[in-house]
């Protein structure tokens, strides 16, 4: 077989008007739907016709590949709060990057859109972003305690200081709070049990998002 000595790329861009059932699909599903609709008639027909036409000049097509992408340009403007909810650990500049990266590629269904935004937010900045915190909790003995630790703004987990990792907390307590040191912000939290590393304390993403500005300000100063 001859070795290739030319690479040809031919691209078309189509502006389409589609029904709502297509517009409500996520980006990956929308691309797959378009791929299925075009089918062999287009995806295999184009290489066949190209080979025939180029063959007239003695040019042989040795291989071919295709790339398909589609963006929803009629998507409604997404409120900033949705970006914050997906990435409360992101800086202002990173939130703008998240908006640009996902522009026109977000599903119309809110729940699915939130999952897509979260995935992109973690891809943009997935490292742990920690701030010092104090955990206000009730111990299994019934005493109230203040435990020192660090709150991970990326996923809401709390890593307790070594001296407090042996603490045993009462299960399902409503009074569990995590305070970002120096922020004056108290966050609702829960304890999912205990491990060798201490109590598994978690702050919901919604709580982080509600106080995101103060928490990010504290992280940027640390």
How many CB atoms sit inside 10 A of residue 21's CB? 8
Domain boundaries, given as residue ranges, for the chain:
1-74, 80-124, 130-221
Best CA proximity match to 190, nearest among 178, 179, 180, 202 = 202
Task: List residues bridging with 131 in a β-sheet.
Answer: 151
| pLDDT (0 to 100) of residue 196 | 87
Work out the mean pLDDT of the chain and round it to a whole number: 90
Residue 83's φ and ψ, nearest 5 degrees, are: -70, -40
CB 125 within 8 A of CB 89: yes
Instruction: Indicate the range of 52-61, 99-108, 168-177 predicted with least confidence.
Output: 99-108
Report pLDDT digits (tens) over 165-175.
999 999 889 88
pLDDT for the residue numbered 73:
67
Look up the CATH architecture of domain 130-221: Beta Barrel (2.40)
pLDDT band with cut points at 50, 70 and 90 for residue 154: very high
pLDDT bin (cut points 50, 70, 90) of residue 74 is low
Query: Do 198 and 166 meet the contact criterion of CB atoms below 8 Å apart?
Result: yes
- Please tell me the predicted confidence (pLDDT) of residue 133: 96
Q: What is the pTM of this model?
A: 0.67
pLDDT at 114 over 60: yes
Average pLDDT over residues 79-107: 91
Q: Provide the pLDDT confidence category of residue 121 given band limits of 50, 70 and 90.
A: very high
Question: Could you tell me how far CA 157 lies from the centroid of its own chain?
Answer: 17
User: What residues contact 218, with CB distance under 8 A and at least 6 apart?
Assistant: 131, 180, 181, 182, 183
């Amino acid at each position: 077989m001859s070795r290739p000595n030319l690479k040809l790329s031919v691209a078309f861009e189509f502006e389409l008007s589609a029904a709502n059932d297509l517009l409500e699909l996520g980006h990956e599903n929308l691309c797959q739907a378009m791929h299925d609709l075009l089918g062999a008639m287009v995806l295999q027909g184009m290489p066949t016709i190209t080979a025939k036409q180029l063959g007239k000049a003695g040019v042989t097509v040795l291989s071919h590949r295709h790339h398909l992408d589609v963006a929803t340009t009629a998507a409604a403007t997404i409120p900033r709060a949705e970006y914050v909810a997906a990435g409360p650990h992101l800086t202002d500049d990173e939130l703008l990057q998240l908006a640009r990266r996902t522009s026109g590629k977000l599903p119309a269904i809110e729940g699915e859109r939130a999952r897509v935004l979260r995935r992109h937010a973690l891809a943009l900045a997935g490292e742990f972003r920690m701030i010092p915190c104090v955990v206000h909790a009730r111990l299994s003995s019934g005493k109230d305690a203040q435990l020192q630790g660090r709150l991970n703004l990326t996923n809401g987990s709390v890593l307790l200081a070594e001296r407090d990792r042996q603490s045993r907390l009462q299960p399902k307590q409503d009074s569990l709070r995590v305070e970002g040191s120096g922020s004056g912000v108290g966050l609702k939290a829960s304890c999912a049990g205990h491990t060798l590393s201490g109590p598994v304390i978690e702050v919901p993403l919604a709580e982080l998002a509600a106080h995101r500005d103060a928490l990010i300000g504290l992280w940027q100063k640390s």
